[in-house]
Structure 1
Amino acid sequence: MAANFLKSLFGDEDIDEQEYYETSDQNSVASTNSNNKVVSINSGRVNQMSQISLYEPRLYADVKQIASQLLEGHAVIVNFTQMDSSVAARLVDFLNGTVFAIDGEMKRIGKEIFLCTPKNYEISGNLTSNLKNDSDKF
């Protein structure tokens, strides 16, 4: 009723209320679209050089440093020749668990030498023919 009074007062009796609401909806849509901006998001990663660390552990406690290198995304070559075979077997088990947790891979590349890699490395080839004649400690 108040809307009809205002229409007659201003002389715009031909304007429908729907047209009025449609124009305001179009204006609000246009104003929200003008605030949208496309922003490029970079991952923030800088291409780092891959790293392979070499270890020759003598104690079981050395496995912590080796595992941390794997968790940081570095490949590790571990030589167990300086360790007792029972302790070396425990280290291999620990590193196997670490490699599994990071979805990596562990390969024997020598008699008592292992290559452990995180997910972003690929190991190709096989050295089993060279290892068949060696007696395995673990």
Structure 2
Amino acid sequence: MGFEKISRFFGMSDEDFNEDINNEPAQQQAPVQESTARERSEMRQKAPVENTNVVSMNQVKNNQTSKIVLFEPRVYSDAKEVGTHLLNGRAVIVNFTRIDEKQAKRIIDFLTGTIFAIKGEIQRVGDCIFLCTPSKFEIDGNISDIIRDKKIN
């Protein structure tokens, strides 16, 4: 009785159940041939593997935009927020004009360690302004050279 309820739940009729019990001849299956490791390797090389459902985890979605965060720390503890932005894949421009020099140096040391850990880059772009980028960003050029060239001309 319990089996009948389960079979009805899964959509099996009594006829399906009776066919299995009556031991009707099973279909003959062709024997499976064992293939050698070399044959399997050759098959893998010949067969083009194309699975469009696989997506790299580092790939940016088409509708997702990259962000650059502007930040002006006022105390050393603000460095943690800058580090969090970097860990989340955002570039950060840090302006140190509103903090004393000693605190700014400590924050730069912290950010340098964070940048090293994520294989990013940090570059001075002004007197008290630094650009910190994660590894997926590429910095091209050098602002200091441009400013120096303008002073010479």
Question: Match for residue 49 of structure 1?
Answer: 65
Calculate the TM-score normalised by the size of structure 2: 0.59
Using the alignment, how far apart are the partners of 1:97 and 1:76 within structure 2?
A: 15
Number of aligned residues: 102
Counterpart for residue 94 of structure 2: 78
Query: Which digits, 9 at most, give the CA deviation of each residue in 1:83-116, with x for residues without a partner?
Result: 0100100000100110111000000001000000
Moved over 3 A (4+): 38-41
- Aligned mates of 1:27, 1:109 — CA distance in 2: 71
Pairwise CA RMSD = 2.7
List runs of 5+ in structure 2 lacking aligned partners: 1-28, 35-49, 149-153
- Which residue in the other structure is 1:115 paired with? 131
How far 1:58 sits from its partner (Å)?
0.1
Aligned to 1:27: 31
- Name the SS of the counterpart of 1:28 in structure 2: coil
Counterpart check, 1:104 vs 2:116: no
Structure 2: how far apart are the matches of 1:39 and 1:108?
44
Which of 87, 90, 113 is matched with 2:106 structurally?
90
Q: Which runs of 5+ in 1 are unaligned?
A: 1-23, 31-37, 132-138
Give the TM-score normalised by the residue count of structure 1: 0.65
User: How much identity, in percent, do the aligned residues show?
Assistant: 46
Q: Report the secondary structure of 1:49's partner residue.
A: coil
- Encode CA deviations 1:64-83: one digit per residue, 9 max, x unaligned: 11000000000000000100
**What per-residue deviation string (whole Å, max 9, x for no partner) do you get for residues 34-72 of structure 1?**
xxxx85432265232110000000011101110000000
